Structure 1
Amino acid sequence: MEGKKFGITLGDPCGIGPEITLKALHAKMEYQKSALLFGTRSLLEYYNSLLGYEMRFNTIKKIEEWDDSAINVYDPHPVDISQIQVGVVTSLGGTIAFESVRAAIEFALRKDISSVVTAPLNKEALHLAGFPYAGHTEIFGAFTKGERYAMLLYSEKLKVIHVSTHVSLRKACDLCKKSRVLEVIHLAHETLKKIGYENPRIAVAGLNPHAGENGIFGDEEIKEIIPAIEEAKAEGLNVSGPIPPDTVFLKALQGSWDIVVAMYHDQGHIPLKMLSFESGVNITVGLDVIRTSVDHGTAFDIAGTLKASEKSLLKAIEIGEKL
């Protein structure tokens, strides 16, 4: 990262986060000099031995304690390895995951690190620990600044940004409002411009089957989505839609657009995960802290087996650098 320090949160310690983090740092050793890990040091020592690596760790409390000859770690909740139940949902796992994210945000807000890359946490563990957040996106939304933010899934094949994410499908329909659709169109445009797209081509998916079929299958397109698109076009943005949800992703994949505005979580996640499960990246856009993440879960079923892939994490670090 050309001398810039960045953070990696290890996610839920009972999942695959610590394993894929060490694998990523082993695969790209240049990252070892600039990555600050947030999580349980005893667990890093455990996986370091299990993987047969010879990495050396340095625990810090402030950035001035940085050691260029080691991998630097901020451990917000030190515990012995015997307290970690690998592969199990626990309140301790939720506590460590949350405190790691909060610490990384504080370092980023102080400009000690340039961005935060997050390994997966578990929402059930988070809630068991008493932290009622739906996920990383909502934690970053609560503790950083930004009038508007959204979840953007990034892969080489397909890019999707969401009007709503971790809410019920019923609520997602209620959240489909002109103002929100318009701000997500803006966030899509701004983010792709930062990444290097000169004139991002944005497709907006419909909410209803056939994009409502002129009101036959629902009127959200007529009342909320089309007015947002028209306003964005009047501002000079390259926007199309609403496009029927059953065809918009295929057309984007074929090159018609650079990004799709999806109306709700599964509408955007299903096509992207089908195409790029191992290399997709989750980005929280619109905030004053740059955050990228793997686009997969804690995978408790394979935690500790050394089968987890670090590909998505490596891509998340790369995109964080571009942003």
Structure 2
Amino acid sequence: MSTPLIAVTMGDAAGIGPEVIVRAIPRVAEFSRPVVIGDAARLAEAAAICGVPLTPHVVDEPEQARFAPGTVDVIDLGLIPRGLPFGELSPVAGEAAYQYVRVASELAMAGKAQAICTAPLNKEALHAAGHRYPGHTELLAELTGVPEVSMMLATDTVRVIHVTTHIGLIDAIERIDHGLVERTVRRGHDTLVAAGIERPRIAVCGINPHAGENGLFGRGEEEEKIVPALERLRADGVDARGPLPADTVFFRAGRGDFDLVVAMYHDQGHGPVKILGLEAGVNITVGLPVIRTSVDHGTAFDIAGTGKADAGSMVEAMRQAARLARRT
């Protein structure tokens, strides 16, 4: 019972969340105690589709979980109607996905779970259910009462934290300022220190090609929006380097020059990580009062319900959640 208890949200029931969960559960017992917040019947259906001998064990509270081999402990909210099609957008599934996250956040805030690990939800389904959030990150920030958080993607070779995420590129450039850059770097720095990296080496990307090349490209965004933040960070002893050209910094991080890359906008950070493979990345929300990790892929409606989904990212997300929880 010394391993962390992790609240695992089932995500969008029409996507691959139920399948990656039932595939992952038998592989994570060594380092975690997972309790799924979801729908027991849907998990049983996913287990049958995947050919995984796993039977749901319904509990009302995490304390009732048995963590017995061949079972998956689940707080069954019973929100998914029998026969809900896989691979189709559903406001019902969107509402359920929201409720799974709400319950998981309440458990974590109450200390009944040491971490949250989320299966993917569908933003369009979430919006169709009346919950207007760009994604998990913003939803969890509101549920836990935090005004600002950051998204970090972690693989075996590269870690990336984002200054902005789910907004358009023009809006992202407008939103970036030296205060936001500084706060993002500090959140990343503190997370790595908490994970055991005593003095993280942090590379900060520029906004323009070649990081502006001394004013040749762009309108001076690097000097205005990034450099003042780096000066303050370095004065406080944070090893933050940049602004650096994004087209080479990820290669350097991959060979071990940096412990963390700070990306200015969504695709600048996501593209290089996802080329490593969707099963390789883990999404960590930085700045919450609770630990939250997630798979780094979507609901994959095109293969949902076929049993083809790979659970590698879910296993790694749960491993990272357990590791962070143990250190905390």
Which TM-score bucket, shorter chain as reference? over 0.9
* Residue number in structure 2 paired with 1:55: 54
Structure 1 moving runs of 4+ over 4 Å: none
Residues 29, 52 of structure 1: CA spacing in aligned structure 2 closer, same or farther, 3 A cutoff? farther
1:148: how far off? 3.4
**1: CA distance between counterparts of 2:131 and 2:162?**
23
**1: CA distance between counterparts of 2:156 and 2:3?**
26
TM-score normalized with structure 1 length: 0.95
TM-score normalized with structure 2 length: 0.94
* Residue number in structure 2 paired with 1:273: 274
How many residues are paired up? 321
* Residue number in structure 2 paired with 1:182: 182
* Residue number in structure 2 paired with 1:18: 18
Q: Secondary structure at the match of 1:81?
A: coil
Deviation track 1:105-147 (CA, whole Å, cap 9, x = no partner) reads: 0111111100000010110111111110000001011111435
Q: Secondary structure at the match of 1:151?
A: strand
Deviation track 1:34-73 (CA, whole Å, cap 9, x = no partner) reads: 2110111111111222333332322223334333444221
Verify the 8 A CA contact 2:40 2:78 in the aligned structure 1: no
Once the two structures are superposed, the pairs formed by residues 244-323 of structure 1 within 5 Å of their partners are 244-323=245-324
Deviation track 1:263-317 (CA, whole Å, cap 9, x = no partner) reads: 0000000000002421100000111011000000100101111111111111111
Give the CA RMSD over aligned residues: 1.6
**1: CA distance between counterparts of 2:29 and 2:146?**
34
**2: CA distance between counterparts of 1:71 and 1:239?**
43
State whether structure 2 residue 38 is matched by structure 1 residue 39. yes
The residue identity in structure 2 corresponding to 1:186 is R
Residues 242, 46 of structure 1: CA spacing in aligned structure 2 closer, same or farther, 3 A cutoff? same
Q: Which one is further off, 261-270 or 2-11? A: 2-11
Deviation track 1:57-96 (CA, whole Å, cap 9, x = no partner) reads: 22223334333444221122433321x1101111111111
Q: Secondary structure at the match of 2:275?
A: helix
Verify the 8 A CA contact 1:211 1:243 in the aligned structure 2: yes
1:188: how far off? 1.1
**2: CA distance between counterparts of 1:201 and 1:64?**
40
1:198: how far off? 1.5
The residue identity in structure 1 corresponding to 2:45 is Y
Q: Secondary structure at the match of 1:116?
A: strand
1:28: how far off? 3.5
- Aligned-pair identity in percent equals 42
The residue identity in structure 2 corresponding to 1:121 is L
The residue identity in structure 2 corresponding to 1:154 is A
1:193: how far off? 1.1
The residue identity in structure 2 corresponding to 1:22 is V
* Residue number in structure 1 paired with 2:73: 72
Unaligned runs of 5+ in 2: none
State whether structure 2 residue 216 is matched by structure 1 residue 216. yes
Once the two structures are superposed, the pairs formed by residues 30-179 of structure 1 within 5 Å of their partners are 30=30, 34-69=33-68, 70-82=71-83, 84-179=84-179
Q: Secondary structure at the match of 1:26?
A: helix
**2: CA distance between counterparts of 1:220 and 1:67?**
55
